[in-house]
Chain A
Amino acid sequence: MILRNWLAMVLLLSPAPRYTTALWPIPSSLSRGATAVKLSSVFDIHIDISSPPADLVAAVSRTRSRITTDRFQRLVIGRSTTDISSISSARTLTSLSLALHPGSLVRSIADETNQPITSRSEVYSLAITGDRPSAILIANSTLGLFRGLATFEQLWYDLNGTKYLLDGGIDIVDQPAFPYRGFSFDTSRNFYPVADILRTIDAMSWVKLSILYWHVIDSQSFPLHVEAYPELAEKGAYSAEEIYSQNDIRTIVQYANERGVDVVMELDSPGHTTAIGAAHPELIACAAKSPWASYASEPPAGQLRIASPATVEFAKTLFDSVASVLPSKMMSSGGDEVNLPCWEEDEETETDLAERNITIADALNDFVQAVQGVITSHGKTPFIKSDMVLTHNVPVVNDTVVVVWQTSEDAVSVAERNLRFIHQPSNYFYLDCGAGEWLGNDVLGNSWCDPFKTWQRAYSFDPLANLTEDQHHLVLGGQMPIWSEQSSPENLDPIIWPRLAVAAEVFWTGATLPDGSPRLGPNATSGRNALARLNELRYRLVDRGVSAIALQPKWCVLRPGECDLDS
């Protein structure tokens, strides 16, 4: 038992694991006291804004309701009952007051969320002083207030209906390091009902993610109703029930925008478009051609016939029709993994090229220029996948945002071209990796991007690695994607949560923690540090009905640091 004593001594000597405000993402500036505070039974949230926007009122009402219904207890041995005496002597907080700084414009959260990505204001300050009955949340915008509400909600523990915290005297001044904090969602390989998307948006908003990058269509299915071409979904969706109607899209976008999440839609093209051929076979080269491995990165093969003027016109109308129903100032034309043999062996494409006396590279440039032209004509910033720029050297509109996906190493090359970009590297952020091969007849194959990207791996990502200081402004942020070959509603929550929250902290908090220490400092993933906070977030997600996986046995969760490699 000498060992026990030694351990106890170490615990006493080491800085107390005071992580009671286990906020995720951790605010950029945070100080806290040691006063227990509980919410009054008549606790209320006041909005000190004349004619507050409806979505702010609704957000406040959701926060008030969640604070009541959350049943999450503090993660210590004995849970919240340990705190009974602290709670009985706690000061009472009767209200939270929301206000905008003088001179701020009063716009709805949705309006703020749809501002250009670099001109959004998400900064807020939140003070819960130990001696005042009212807490104060101030921001420059309703979006900032919304971020502050997300923080406020994470502060409280429950004991038999009483909501309390132990480190009152909280002072938070917070803002994101990067504006683009996203989740890329593939709804084509397998379909997800609207309810799953809405639940995901809710959870995203709780960790201050700002972008839903919706990879809505691909070669396998076309679930998007397009006003100009309803036949695309009618023929290309998996079934009539597996279509996002105009109404569904409005619902999703509005739901997201009111929760500070901007919806950036990707219509991946000219590759990844086989499903268009179900309605328009004349537009698709090498459709479902065999062996697929010669013509595509995955089955079924099939790409738009980019050399055909009719196909380009079709694509322009498609982008125009979709762009006109989306409020976001951003839209993506994808562009990954185009396959040259598919076009080289396509008679129609070869004929078109010969007639127009152009190369396939010319046709690709023209195609990208055409769809980017449509996107910009709608006042939107075009996004494009990194291989279009790095592999195919396609000229792009100046303010294009490049989605760096193949490897984190590619970020530098994009920066050297002076293009803005977001990080979505498969070697850090792909949520689908590591679950084995999904192709048939490949018995011992593992997934192409093995191994599984652990939360620790994602957390170790440095958004500014290898970049010069004058390139830093090119980094808008980043996102974790789920590609859905092996995912569906059945495993959506467990495969994305809580790992997706890691991207939220990497891009909200940036390289440093509130005390100025590096996020990736020693023991960053210790159960005393990020892991403790992430465990807490996971339990809060589960409490709210999101089926996030367990990161550890509960024994470890209740004993931060005791399940470290070196403990």
Chain B
Amino acid sequence: MRFLSLLLALAPAAGVFGLWPQPRSLETGSTALKLASDFDIHVSVQHPPSDLSDAVSRTKSFLQNDKLGRLVVGRGSSDSSALKTAKSLKTLQLSLSKGATVRSITEESRLALGTRSEEYILDIPADGSTATLTANSTLGLLRGLTTFSQLFYEWSGQIYTVEAPISITDAPAYPWRGLMLDTSRNFFPVADIMRTLDAMSLVKMSQFHWHVTDSQSFPLVIPGFTELANAGAYDPSMVYSPSDVQDIVDYAGARGIDVMVEIDTPGHTAIIGAAHPEYVACAEASPWTTFANEPPAGQLRLASATVANFTAKMFTAVAKMFPSTVLSTGGDELNTECYAQDSETQADLTSTGRTLEQALSVFTQTTHGALKAAGKTPAVWEEMVLDHNVTLSNETVVLVWISSMNAAAVAEKNFRLVHAPSDYFYLDCGAGEWIGDDVANSWCDPFKTWQKAYTFDPQANISASQAHLVLGGEQALWTEQSGPENLDPIVWPRAAASAEVFWTGPGGNGSEALPRLHDVAFRMRQRGVKAIQLQPMWCALRPGQCNLDS
């Protein structure tokens, strides 16, 4: 890291343009280099997997179609004289390091956390001679292609960089660089999810956390359990069929993204009652504030063996739909009053002689047992570890959400963890109350700015011996107040903030980052993602002139 910071310190402030996340090691020059009209990308890999060939085609298409002008006053016009004498780059050569196994990007993306290889080395000489991209895996090559496509700008039909020669050696600091999307409170068509995956891939995110169901609707069609979506989806058109899921995980995999699905249980399940009322306690009970964190109330009757077995079998079926090694059973915001007032649950507890906590542990072991049998690693929300006395297997992944302060406690229990703290990473905060007849602000006010997310330190309060437990983190969109209408602007470019924190590592300087974040946001817009403007364009074209102190 010392070497890296030295490099960054030496680089001229305006010298590093559009790369987001910032590579771990980067050397750039100041020579203009343009793409030859017959520029091509050669893959020196025997029998290249088809998703690698597709990634190469996409990269060529981005290079041609991004048509992004450099973010300086006059855009590219000031580069026209440099371009007259610029050498032309004819070839980018992709190769794997010797002895590397040739697997598809998709397979590499779905390897167990901690065993994926994303590092790559990219060299672009200034003299027009062949640029080279090498990696240990096709996934590394994809990351390198992503970097390559971010280096080029367009002016007057020329596609070029002004920073050759470029030499990059890059690898992520953390394997889990995620985004969570809730598709239950409001529904999102498949096309919206795919566009989101494209944008995630542009900033080298690796993990899509799909919070697919909740108490409000059940849009996932699970083979063998189709009644859940039939009765629980908002509309027959608002479902994810098995083939939709297949399309989404394939699309994600080809873009270096693993999909962890979450079926939140045993809370957040009121809508299961639409198909199976006998499985749900305190369904739509009033006042909801007594029985749930938000309406409608309703939780699985976890003390019932029938319900536990049903849930475990459902997870077995879900596990077959999702190729990821990780699958989440959720587990947040369990409401004990719901069970205290539910006569069926009380009867089950009495007959089994268990406390509610014991019943929760049995329930969780049942569902996690099913996942284990399916070859999956379970993931849970933090309460399962911090608030409840649940026996969990060592490899369980714990998502910290209530507060960033809780990560240390999870680490102390020796669980691997993913940071999703509401005080840094919740994308929905700050838009006011959505509950009726209440003029309050959102519970997690204020709005979490990109700057705030960018200051996140994944190792804060975590001891060195526990550092390895941090898998990474994710920003999250809960969708009580979101839908397809505002998906892009509420997520982008803010969610890119954590992509850099977990790729490059923490400690980045926000003032240095802002011009690059502008750049990637402008590139997203060129690719049809409606990322918001962070500043007036006047400022975007004049880095540093709209700082608080400039």
Show the binding face of A for B, using Cβ within 8 Å.
3-4, 6-7, 79, 188-191, 219-221, 238-239, 288, 290-293, 298-300, 434-446, 450-457, 460, 484-491, 493-495, 523, 525-528, 531, 542, 547-556, 561-567
Contacts and interface: CB of A to CB of B under 8 A. Distances in A.
Given A550-B479, A553-B186, A454 B441 contact: yes
Contacts of B450: 436
Q: Which of A238, A555, A566 has the most CB of B within 10 A?
A: A555
A567 B288 contact: yes
Contact of B437 (A445, A493, A526): A526
Given A441-B549, A554-B216, A565 B441 contact: no
Contact of A527 (B437, B448, B533, B548): B437
A494 B485 contact: yes
Contacts of A554: 185-187, 216-217, 234
Interface in B435-462: 435-439, 441, 445-452, 454-455
B350 interface: no
Contacts of A442: 451, 547-548
B446 A450 contact: yes
Interface stretch (B24-32, B50-58, B361-369, B425-433): B425-433
Contacts of B434: 551-553, 556, 563
B451 A444 contact: yes
Given A485-B536, A562-B295, A451 B430 contact: yes
Contacts of B431: 434, 452, 454, 549
Interface stretch (B246-254, B373-381, B401-409, B538-546): B538-546
Q: Which of A7, A489, A494 has the most CB of B within 10 A?
A: A494
Contacts of A494: 485-486, 489-490
A439 B532 contact: no
Given A190-B536, A549-B482, A439 B186 contact: no
Contact of B548 (A4, A6, A445): A445
A456 B432 contact: yes
Given A440-B544, A562-B284, 20 more contacts: A220-B537, A220-B539, A290-B550, A291-B549, A298-B546, A434-B431, A435-B449, A438-B534, A439-B547, A440-B550, A441-B510, A441-B548, A443-B455, A452-B432, A527-B436, A550-B482, A553-B186, A562-B296, A563-B295, A564-B437
B388 interface: no
B158 to A, nearest CB: 18
B482 A457 contact: no
A550 B449 contact: no
A567 B287 contact: yes
Given A457-B432, A526-B437, A299 B550 contact: yes
A451 B441 contact: yes
B288 A220 contact: no
A451 B443 CA distance: 13
Contacts of B326: none
Nearest to B510: A443
B334 interface: no
Given A189-B536, A455-B432, A299 B531 contact: no
A317 B365 CA distance: 79
B532 A491 contact: yes
A445 B447 CA distance: 11
Nearest to A538: B485
Q: Which of A443, A484, A542 has the most CB of B within 10 A?
A: A443
B5 interface: no
A563 B435 contact: yes
Nearest to A218: B536
B436 A441 contact: no
6 contacts: A292-B545, A441-B549, A547-B486, A550-B479, A555-B234, A567-B287
Contacts of A190: 533, 536-537
A550 B485 contact: yes
Contacts of A531: 436-437
Given A288-B545, A454-B439, A549 B537 contact: no
B103 interface: no
Q: Is the interface of A mostly helix, strand, loop or mixed?
A: loop
B226 interface: no
Contacts of A298: 546
A438 to B, nearest CB: 5
B511 interface: yes
A436 B432 contact: no
A446 B481 contact: no
A266 B434 CA distance: 35
B479 A565 contact: no
Contact of A486 (B341, B480, B525, B534): B534
B535 interface: yes
Given A555-B216, A555-B217, A565 B436 contact: yes
A493 B511 contact: no
A423 to B, nearest CB: 19
B289 interface: yes
B436 A485 contact: no
Contact of B533 (A486, A553, A565): A486
Interface string B485-512: 1101110000000000000000000110
B293 interface: no
Contacts of B452: 436, 443-444
Nearest to B448: A436
B286 interface: yes
Given A490-B488, A556-B295, A561-B436, A567 B483 contact: no
A221 B449 CA distance: 25
B430 A435 contact: yes
B286 A3 contact: yes
Given A435-B447, A442-B451, A456 B439 contact: yes
A288 B542 CA distance: 11
A565 B548 contact: no
B285 interface: yes
Nearest to B451: A443
B87 interface: no
Contacts of A455: 432
B478 to A, nearest CB: 10
Contact of A565 (B235, B289, B446): B289
B481 A550 contact: yes
B60 interface: no
B285 A440 contact: no
Nearest to A189: B536
B493 to A, nearest CB: 10
Contacts of A299: 538-539, 545-546, 550
Contact of A556 (B430, B433, B436): B436
The 10 closest A-B pairs by CB, nearest first: A454-B432, A436-B449, A491-B489, A527-B436, A494-B486, A547-B485, A555-B216, A220-B538, A490-B530, A441-B547
A396 B511 CA distance: 43
